[in-house]
């Protein structure tokens, strides 16, 4: 997903524009790069919000992980309607709709904080992620049009780098703003009106962060609207977005789509638990804010790993690299959960390095041999990102049942084991 997750390679619909046709709008291109930065940051910011809401509302790990369920469920429910809408109104207007949905989601944190109702925070996250999904449906083909076809790959790679940069920076500053912990009491010491007042006061830090993001989104939406008529001769495939589901009958594609589900789920589950894990006395025993500031090492490892992986993939079979990284993630989980202190903490953070190449590699291996149906397949893979809504709460439930975060990490380890199997299965090029 990939860094947060990296869904820029799985957007749909696919434009049908002559190969020599492009839009010379470098200013707009810069704002689209900024969108990728915001996407990555918004997604990884969930890792900071989870421990904050867990303390404010006295949640179990399962309940706290519903933050990710609310966010990633949008990919399942909104991807296809978003693609249909974009086909009707075009890329630029579709991007504006998505940005305004994101803005609305950010502003919904205001009533969520004022009422101190956890369910409203989840609803705000779903609306925010719905907007992210719509804009992601637009972003990849839009970047393809904003420049010469010969430089499309470099633009996409550059955009993905901005996505990775967002996942690295947002959690650090979010930890400072949201996990400051200035209060001298905690939620479990209060009840009744005093508890409601405490929740309203403490959640204001979350509100301030998302209001800042809303302002940035309003500016970007205004710029994109100014270019709403820039894409002359825009055309789209008239086929049904639901046609891609028939591809699941193909073993290679079906296995790959399942691995996208598992990968995003495992990556998000680990990222969501890192703060709580590093706070445990037998790990690093850090305070909430200090633990939150280390989240960038998890996502930053994925950023560094992308450059290392891109070089390795030039000389080694992608399937073998995928299997190696998946087995490496399992090894790091085993080391972390069977050691203590700095070793336990930093080996868990190092899993981000192993995650780096997984999403694009799984995507490309699954899509081999699809030919003209590649766009249909990308739509299905985009929906498979819903794994981020299911695996994290399942991991949280396992932590609640066993009373151990270390034991709950067996579920992400199982996900990586299945992904390693796919790497070996798909190590040879597809024949059809």
Report the residue count for the chain: 432
Chain-centroid distance of CA 129 in Å reads: 10
The 8 Å CB, 24+ separation contacts for 76-82 are: 76/383, 76/385, 76/386, 76/389, 77/130, 78/129, 78/130, 78/133, 78/134, 79/12, 79/133, 79/137, 79/379, 79/382, 79/383, 80/241, 80/242, 80/379, 80/383, 82/133, 82/134, 82/137
Q: pLDDT (tens digit, 0 to 9) for every residue of the chain, 432 residues total?
A: 444 454 444 444 444 444 445 556 556 677 777 778 887 889 888 988 998 899 888 899 999 999 999 999 999 999 888 878 887 888 788 889 999 999 999 999 999 988 889 999 999 999 999 999 888 877 766 666 676 765 554 565 567 778 878 888 888 888 888 876 545 556 667 677 888 788 888 888 889 889 988 998 998 889 888 878 776 666 665 666 666 788 888 899 999 999 999 999 999 999 999 999 999 999 999 988 899 999 999 988 888 887 788 778 778 888 999 999 999 999 999 999 999 999 999 999 999 999 988 988 888 888 787 766 665 676 788 789 999 999 999 999 999 999 999 999 999 999 999 999 999 998 877 665
Chain-centroid distance of CA 177 in Å reads: 21
Euclidean distance between CA atoms 364 and 357, whole angstroms: 11
Euclidean distance between CA atoms 394 and 388, whole angstroms: 10
Euclidean distance between CA atoms 123 and 362, whole angstroms: 31
> Judging by beta carbons within 10 Å of its beta carbon (0-12, 13-18, 19+), is residue 200 exposed, middle or buried?
middle
Record the pTM: 0.82
Q: Tokens 């860094």 appear where?
A: 3
Predicted local distance difference test score (pLDDT) of residue 158: 66
The first and second tokens of residue 357, run together, are 């190449």
Domains along the sequence of the chain with CATH: 26-425 (1.20.1250.20)
Predicted local distance difference test score (pLDDT) of residue 185: 58
Cα dihedral sign, 62-67-68-69: positive
**CB-based contact 159:33 (threshold 8 Å):** yes
Residue 135's H or E segment, with its range, is helix 118-145
- Helices 204-226 and 91-107 pack at an angle, to 10 degrees, of 160
């Amino acid at each position: 997903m990939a860094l947060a997750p990296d869904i820029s390679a799985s957007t749909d619909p696919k434009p049908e524009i002559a190969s020599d046709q492009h839009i010379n709008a470098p200013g707009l291109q810069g704002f689209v790069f900024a969108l990728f930065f915001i996407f990555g940051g918004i997604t990884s910011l969930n890792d900071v919000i989870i421990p904050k809401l867990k303390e404010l509302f006295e949640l179990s790990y399962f309940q706290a992980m519903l933050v990710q369920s609310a966010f990633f469920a949008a990919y399942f429910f909104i991807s296809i309607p978003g693609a249909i809408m974009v086909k009707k109104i075009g890329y630029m207007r579709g991007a504006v709709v998505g940005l305004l949905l994101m803005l609305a989601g950010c502003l919904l944190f205001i009533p969520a904080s004022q009422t101190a109702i956890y369910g409203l925070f989840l609803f705000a996250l779903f609306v925010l992620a719905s907007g992210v999904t719509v804009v992601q449906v637009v972003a990849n083909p839009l970047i393809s049009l904003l420049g010469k076809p010969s430089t499309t790959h470099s633009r996409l790679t550059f955009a993905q780098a901005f996505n990775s940069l967002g996942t690295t920076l947002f959690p650090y500053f979010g930890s400072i703003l949201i996990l400051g912990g200035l209060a001298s009491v905690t939620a479990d010491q209060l009840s009744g009106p005093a508890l409601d007042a405490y929740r309203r006061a403490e959640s204001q830090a979350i509100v301030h962060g998302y209001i800042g993001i809303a302002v940035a989104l309003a500016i970007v939406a205004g710029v994109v609207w100014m270019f709403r008529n820039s894409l002359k001769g825009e055309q789209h495939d008239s086929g049904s977005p639901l046609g891609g589901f028939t591809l699941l009958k193909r073993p290679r594609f079906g296995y790959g789509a399942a691995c996208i589900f598992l990968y995003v789920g495992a990556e998000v589950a680990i990222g969501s638990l890192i703060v709580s894990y590093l706070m445990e006395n037998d790990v690093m025993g850090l305070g909430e804010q200090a633990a939150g500031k280390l989240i960038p090492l998890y996502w930053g490892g994925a950023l560094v790993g992308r450059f290392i992986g891109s070089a390795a993939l030039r000389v080694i079979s992608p399937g073998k690299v995928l299997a190696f990284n998946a087995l490496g993630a399992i090894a790091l989980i085993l080391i972390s959960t069977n050691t203590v202190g700095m070793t336990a903490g930093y080996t868990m953070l190092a899993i981000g390095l192993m995650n780096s190449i997984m999403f694009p590699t799984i995507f490309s291996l699954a899509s081999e041999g699809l030919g003209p149906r590649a766009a249909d397949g990308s739509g299905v893979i985009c929906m498979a990102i819903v794994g981020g809504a299911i695996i994290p709460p399942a991991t949280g439930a396992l932590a609640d049942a066993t009373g151990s975060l270390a034991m709950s990490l067996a579920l992400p380890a199982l996900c990586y084991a299945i992904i390693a199997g796919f790497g070996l299965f798909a190590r040879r090029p597809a024949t059809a």
